[in-house]
Amino acid sequence: MKVSLEWLREFVDIEHTPEELAEILTHGGTEVDGIEHLNKGLEQIVVGEIATLERHPNADKLWICDVNLGDNKSATIVTGAQNLLVKDRVPVALPGTTLPDGLKIKVTKLRGVESSGMLCSTEELNIDPELGDPRSEGGIMILPSDAPLGATLDTLFGEGDSVLDLDLYPNRPDCLG
């Protein structure tokens, strides 16, 4: 059975970390098979703003974006996303970033144009699609227009919830309800 730590905190004051709580539950007779940390890896993803958006000269379905990252920093990123507009604030994974699914971002040439990073969708970041603008569906996540440029996504969305995977035994009916 999977249990959200945030959901538990609605009913009980819990000041322990997910790992501490898992150990307490295990010592109490409820085995914890695993802990899934949601929003993990967001400390490497930064907020950027689409400064320019141009069609790729060598591909019909690709776009070249100049992305403002704040503090006089920018990146040129090639994307296939069709839901972007100039001035959109978006999550940016720069070279060296590792996405939650383990994909490591590096500088790549796409059809002859160097791409220095990746614009990310909610699916790629493993976060709730409801956190983005409705235009995010099926494409790059659109962040609120007041999201600070260069800020990391963990500062916007917090650490996120943790989900405990409990292994319930038939001899513990008190845990089944």
Reading the chain (177 residues) residue by residue, the pLDDT tens digits are 888 888 888 999 989 888 999 999 888 888 899 888 776 778 899 999 999 999 999 999 999 999 999 999 999 999 999 999 999 999 999 999 999 888 999 999 999 999 999 999 999 988 878 878 888 888 999 999 999 999 999 888 766 678 888 887 777 677 666
Residue with tokens 């004051």: 13
Q: Classify residue 92 by burial, with Cβ atoms within 10 Å: 0-12, 13-18, 19+.
A: buried
What tokens were used for 174? 């008190």
| CA atoms of 4 and 31, how far apart (whole Å) | 16
What tokens were used for 173? 């009916």
Q: What ranges do the domains of the chain cover?
A: 2-38+161-175, 42-157
Q: Which fold has domain 2-38+161-175?
A: Phenylalanyl-tRNA Synthetase; Chain B, domain 1 (3.30.56)
2-38+161-175 and 42-157 have identical folds: no
Task: Report CA torsion sign: 81, 83, 85, 87.
Answer: negative
Q: Which amino acid is at 51?
A: A
3-state secondary structure of 153: helix
19 neighbors 177 (Cβ within 8 angstroms): no
Output the pLDDT for position 175: 66
Is the CATH number 3.30.70.20 carried by domain 42-157? no
39 neighbors 160 (Cβ within 8 angstroms): yes
| CA atoms of 173 and 30, how far apart (whole Å) | 11
What tokens were used for 124? 């790629």
Residue with tokens 């703003």: 49
| CA atoms of 51 and 76, how far apart (whole Å) | 10
What tokens were used for 81? 């996303």
DSSP state of 81: -
Q: Kindly report whether the global pTM for this prediction surpasses the value 0.75.
A: no
| CA atoms of 55 and 80, how far apart (whole Å) | 10
Output the pLDDT for position 78: 97
Output the pLDDT for position 170: 73
113: Cα separation from own chain's centroid = 26
Residue with tokens 């699914």: 101
